[in-house]
Amino acid sequence: FARLKHFRAIATRFDKLARNYQSMIYIACMLIWCKAK
């Protein structure tokens, strides 16, 4: 969870809609996962 906080849009919750916020979390998780591989 701490790695997700490095993404500014997730840490500050810029998006008003829940689906936009959720998709931003998915993108961040994919980036973190790709860097780990």
pLDDT one-digit tens code per residue, 1-37:
677 777 777 777 777 788 878 888 888 899 889 988 7
Q: Tell me what the pLDDT averaged over the chain comes to.
A: 80
The answer as to whether 2 is a domain residue is: no
Is residue 13 included in any domain, yes or no? Answer: yes
- DSSP annotation of 6: G
Range of the domain at 19: 8-36
**Does 21 map to a domain?**
yes
**pLDDT confidence of residue 1:** 66
pLDDT at residue 17, rounded to an integer? 84
Q: How many domains does the chain have?
A: 1
Prediction pTM value: 0.68
Tokens for 11? 């840490």
Residue 20 has what pLDDT? 78
Note the maximum CA span of the chain: 32
Angle at 24 between CA 21 and CA 10, to 5 degrees: 70
User: Domain for residue 1, yes or no?
Assistant: no
